[in-house]
């Protein structure tokens, strides 16, 4: 299969995703409402802390905190990927057998499908962002270059998070169950990515640990590109680090895949 | 009396079944510990910056976290699994078998499916609550503890009734499982006393989805923030919602077409 054919695959998968997501408008809207509680709770807590502290906490005012967590909602909805639970289901029910018969590596189908569904999610996100902005009054004045880097960084974040969760999902080739491992991943992500709180509010040793791990490139970095004031060097360095993590996770995935396929014996039907 | 015997019988069957899978106890304990640990870290982060959050001290917020974990455990182990099974049965018509039995059907659909090991959350929550309560100054009096216990009971009634009302909408809309997901998200707001939220959200968490109200009121009773008036209001809300749930249940049953529909 050639490169144009691969692009074709992505185009078709993405279009299918858009059409399928459009069928479940009400369902998607409900899921989005459930999603929103998380950042709104974090925002309320840290705004309360800032107020208690006389207006700001660690340099964050209620305006910049609002900006952080509103951009968070966009990054989060662009960050939704195929989960290890989905992987577990495929393995347990034997669906993986069908995927293995396809001419391309199955990861391409997932990457393309979830990328396509982002179109629908983005449209649904727009009115929500407007409502949040009216309610919380964010302070957000990004420069043009920051917006540009943000768009690229979101794609990077999507790829890193997809590949990481695919890797964890692949554990089910050996174990069939993945719940416990995935929960550890979720807690690590919560603490070390800027999902729970801007990383600058974490103790410095936590920040040091986070610097060596992929998590903050999936949440904190894209958000701070837009909300913070990173400077050209930090922006480019960030994109380069994202690229390095994509290469590393993709390499690991290719390597693990060989072992996994050899190991596979269809469970289920 | 018969209802109690029926509940005990169902619990025994579930326990006998789940005892076969003892490993799940440790898995559940691990997950509960992870979730509670996360909550404790967040409290540590907040109280590294301030001594009080909107008038709540650290031990007091520990009490809130404990109450949240206990109620969450009850919802996850008893309320939600039962209602999810009920909604599935409405969708595919298997509810017929329940309706054919000679006991109250609402009772039956509320006690059949219990996720036994998930009740570990209740234990973990009780430990957190105990630690928080032991550090309260002044120590809560016997009356406050009594009010707290009653408040906790009413909170469970409120959330059960609220979720049952949502679930009975399956009689009209058939596929409503996404309501449960949405509720899970909103329930997380109960981790914090509703006083820290902006006004519109506080109203929402009291009136529209009474999550914040249900978790915060017992904690307020134990920490001496509110007294008998609040408890009476909570009791009234519990009674009203339970009545409304019963009404929705009756109307829904009339609408239910059975397996042939």
pLDDT at res. A269: 45
Report chain A's terminal Cα–Cα distance, integer Å.
29
Any CB–CB contact under 8 A between B9 and chain A? no
pLDDT at res. B178: 77
Q: What average pLDDT does this structure show over A174-196?
A: 90
Which residues of chain B, if any, have pLDDT below 70? 174, 258-261
CA dihedral over A190, A193, A196, A201, signed as positive or negative = positive
pLDDT at res. B24: 83
> Which residues are CB-contacts of A215 (< 8 A; sequence separation ≥ 6)?
A188, A189, A192, A193
User: pLDDT higher for A175 or B193?
Assistant: B193
Which of B198, B208, B211 to probe by mutation at the A interface, max A CB count within 10 Å?
A: B198
Per-residue pLDDT at A253 exceeds 90? yes
Domain count along chain B = 1
Per-residue pLDDT at A267 exceeds 90? no
What digits encode the pLDDT tens for the residues A65-113? 999 999 999 999 999 999 999 999 988 888 888 888 888 899 999 999 9
In a domain, B203, yes or no: yes
CB within 8 Å: B34 and A52: no
In a domain, B261, yes or no: no
Cβ contacts (< 8 Å) between B191 and chain A: which residues? Answer: 41
Per-residue pLDDT at A264 exceeds 60? yes
Q: What average pLDDT does this structure show over A31-58?
A: 90
Q: Which of B38, B48, B192 sits opposite A41 (nearest CB)?
A: B192
Distance from CA of B112 to the nearest CA of A (A): 25
Query: Using a CB cutoff of 8 Å and minimum separation of 24, what contacts does A5-11 make?
Result: A6/A104, A6/A108, A9/A104, A9/A108, A9/A109, A9/A112, A10/A108, A10/A111, A10/A112, A10/A115, A11/A112
Nearest one of A212, A266, A246, A268 to A107, comparing CA atoms: A246
Mean pLDDT of the residues in chain A: 91
Nearest one of B248, B210, B217 to B83, comparing CA atoms: B248
Distance from CA of B152 to the nearest CA of A (A): 23
pLDDT at res. A20: 85
Distance from CA of A12 to the nearest CA of B (A): 28
Q: Which of B49, B179, B192 sits opposite A30 (nearest CB)?
A: B179
In a domain, B260, yes or no: no
Q: Which of A26, A41, A48 sits opposite B54 (nearest CB)?
A: A48
Cβ contacts (< 8 Å) between B184 and chain A: which residues? Answer: 34
CB within 8 Å: A191 and B38: yes
Cβ count near B225 (within 10 Å) = 16
| Burial classification of residue B154, based on how many CB atoms lie within 10 Å of its CB (0-12 exposed, 13-18 middle, 19 or more buried) | buried
CA dihedral over B81, B84, B89, B95, signed as positive or negative = positive
Per-residue pLDDT at A268 exceeds 60? no
Any CB–CB contact under 8 A between B197 and chain A? yes
| Domain positions in chain A | 3-263
Q: What average pLDDT does this structure show over A204-232?
A: 94
ipTM over 0.95: no
Q: What average pLDDT does this structure show over A210-232?
A: 94
Residue ranges making up the domain that contains B24: 2-255
Q: Which of B49, B181, B191 sits opposite A49 (nearest CB)?
A: B49
Any CB–CB contact under 8 A between B173 and chain A? no
Q: Which of B34, B178, B198 sits opposite A27 (nearest CB)?
A: B178
Interface of B with A in 49-88 (CB under 8 A): 49-50, 52-54
Q: What average pLDDT does this structure show over A228-242?
A: 93
Q: Name the band, by pLDDT with cuts 50, 70 and 90, for residue A23.
A: confident
């Amino acid at each position: 299969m050639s490169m144009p054919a691969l692009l074709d695959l992505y185009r078709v998968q993405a279009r299918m995703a858009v059409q399928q997501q459009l069928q479940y408008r009400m369902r998607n809207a409900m899921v989005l409402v459930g999603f929103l509680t998380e950042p709104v709770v974090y925002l309320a807590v840290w705004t309360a802390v800032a107020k208690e502290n006389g207006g700001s906490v660690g340099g964050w005012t209620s305006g910049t905190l609002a900006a952080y967590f509103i951009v968070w909602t966009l990054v989060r909805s662009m960050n939704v990927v195929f989960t290890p639970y989905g992987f577990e289901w495929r393995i347990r029910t034997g669906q993986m057998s069908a995927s293995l018969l396809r001419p391309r590596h199955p990861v391409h189908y997932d990457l393309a499908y979830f990328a396509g569904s982002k179109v629908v999610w983005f449209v649904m996100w727009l009115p929500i962002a407007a409502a949040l902005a009216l309610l919380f009054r964010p302070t957000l004045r990004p420069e043009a270059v920051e917006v540009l880097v943000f768009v690229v960084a979101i794609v990077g974040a999507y790829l890193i998070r997809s590949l990481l969760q695919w890797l964890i999902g692949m554990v089910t080739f050996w174990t069939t169950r993945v719940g416990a491992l995935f929960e550890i991943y979720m807690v690590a992500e919560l603490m070390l990515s800027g999902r729970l709180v801007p990383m600058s509010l974490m103790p410095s040793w936590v920040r040091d640990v986070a610097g060596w791990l992929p998590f903050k490139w999936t949440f904190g970095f894209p958000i701070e590109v837009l909300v913070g004031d990173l400077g050209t060097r930090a922006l480019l360095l960030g994109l380069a680090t994202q690229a390095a993590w994509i290469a590393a996770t993709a390499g690991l995935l290719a390597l693990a895949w060989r072992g996994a396929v050899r190991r596979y014996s269809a469970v289920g039907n | 009396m018969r209802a109690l015997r029926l509940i005990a019988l169902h619990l025994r069957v579930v326990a006998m079944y789940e005892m076969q899978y003892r490993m799940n106890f440790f898995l559940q304990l691990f997950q509960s510990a992870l979730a509670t640990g996360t909550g404790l870290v967040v409290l540590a982060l907040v109280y590294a910056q301030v001594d009080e959050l909107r008038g709540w001290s650290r031990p007091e917020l520990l009490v809130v976290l404990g109450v949240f974990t206990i109620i969450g455990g009850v919802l996850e182990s008893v309320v939600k699994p039962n209602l999810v099974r009920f909604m599935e049965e409405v969708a595919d018509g298997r509810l017929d078998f329940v309706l054919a039995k000679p006991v109250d059907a609402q009772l039956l659909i509320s006690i059949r499916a219990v996720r036994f090991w998930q009740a570990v959350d209740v234990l973990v929550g009780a430990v957190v609550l105990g630690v928080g309560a032991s550090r309260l100054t002044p120590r809560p009096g016997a009356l406050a503890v009594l009010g707290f216990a009653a408040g906790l009971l009413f909170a469970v009634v409120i959330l059960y009734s609220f979720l049952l009302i949502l679930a009975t909408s399956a009689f009209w809309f058939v596929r409503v499982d996404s309501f449960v997901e949405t509720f899970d998200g909103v329930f997380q707001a109960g981790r914090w006393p509703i006083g820290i939220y902006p006004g519109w959200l506080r109203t929402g968490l009291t009136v529209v989805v009474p999550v914040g109200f249900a978790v915060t009121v017992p904690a307020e009773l134990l920490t001496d923030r509110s007294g008998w008036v609040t408890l009476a209001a909570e009791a009234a809300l519990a009674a009203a919602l339970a009545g409304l749930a019963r009404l929705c249940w009756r109307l829904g049953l009339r609408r239910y077409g059975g397996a042939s529909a």
